[in-house]
Structure formats: structure tokens, C-alpha cells
Copies of this chain bind each other. A is one copy, B any other.
């Protein structure tokens, strides 16, 4: 029985970005090239090569010299988690807070690297909650109220319409 406890495998923001880019570029079984990653992340190829070496050492991707890149199962799992964090944040910023898509996207791209699993989970639940109540069809009334509040800065919705007929 090996007593070497594996290190917790934390990735830097940069490393998560590379992994996510490869994951998204790969799509369903597609082939990923250094070139594509460089383009997607707007960095030069040597930067990608360095990152690739890094992630390969961590067992998250495989790479044969002068060949193509692919994610290991472990890499896919982690990349999917990053994407999920991104999605949840984007939804919250855009759908709930009403941040425009472009800004929501940028914020999500940065913030996704830093929220804890618990916060992510709760945010996920929150969005689920928003989408389900009172029905999947329309936003809950309180969200409409919030939007009004954002727009007008006024608090007269509740005062006037206190007991709402749902």
C-alpha cells in the first residue's frame, strides 16, 4: 500500500483556462491542436506548449509530440466542472441580476476560478429555484419586483401590491 498521499491537485486560473479551452474545442471527440488553443485564448503557441506540458504532467491531458491533444477522463471531469461553474455564474449574472451578456460572460470567466464548491452548488440551486417558481414558464414575481427596483430604485411595489394573487 503506497503511503504517498497525492497532492490535492489545484489548478491556477491559467491552467483552468487552458483545460476549459481544450475541452470546449474538443467538443464531441474532435481533435484539438496547439494552434486552436492559442487562438481561442489569444496567446502565442509557446505559451500553449508550456501549459500543455504542465497539464500533461498532472495527468489531465495527453499529447504526443507534434501531434494532437486530448483530455484524459480526469481532465474532462475537471474541465466540465469549470464549465459548470461558468454556466452557473453567467446565468446568475445575466438572468437574475440582468447584467448584459458580454459583461456577464467576462465576469463569469474570471470569477469561475474562485468560487468554492459549496457556493457554486447553492448558486446552482438558486438558479434552479428561479427557473421553477412559480412555474417554468415565467419568472417569479419577486424577480419582476427586483427588476422594477433596479430600474426605478423605488420600493412601492410591495407597498401597493402587498398580497399578490398568484
Which residue numbers of A lie inside 8 Å of B, CB to CB?
93, 96-100, 103-104, 106-107, 110-111, 114-116, 118-119, 122-123, 125-126, 128-129, 132-134, 140-142, 145-146, 149-150, 155, 157-158, 162, 166
A142–B133 touching, CB < 8 Å = yes
Per assembly, the copies of the chain total 2
- Residue pairs across A and B with Cβ atoms less than 8 A apart, 20 shown, are A96-B126, A97-B123, A97-B126, A98-B122, A99-B118, A100-B118, A103-B119, A104-B119, A107-B119, A110-B115, A111-B111, A111-B114, A122-B150, A129-B145, A129-B146, A129-B149, A132-B155, A133-B149, A134-B158, A142-B142
Residues of A contacting B: mostly: helix
Question: How far apart are the CA atoms of A128 and B153 in the complex, in Å?
Answer: 10
B107–A133 touching, CB < 8 Å = no
Shortest Cβ distance from A108 into chain B, in angstroms? 10
B-side contacts of A149, CB under 8 Å: 125, 128-129, 133
Question: How far apart are the CA atoms of A149 and B130 in the complex, in Å?
Answer: 11
Q: Give the nearest-CB partner of A117 in chain B.
A: B103
Question: How far apart are the CA atoms of A86 and B114 in the complex, in Å?
Answer: 13
A119–B134 touching, CB < 8 Å = no
A166–B155 touching, CB < 8 Å = no
A119–B99 touching, CB < 8 Å = yes
Besides A93-B119, A99-B122, A129-B146, 12 other A-B contacts (C-beta < 8 A): A98-B122, A99-B119, A100-B118, A103-B119, A111-B111, A125-B149, A125-B150, A132-B155, A133-B155, A133-B157, A134-B158, A142-B142
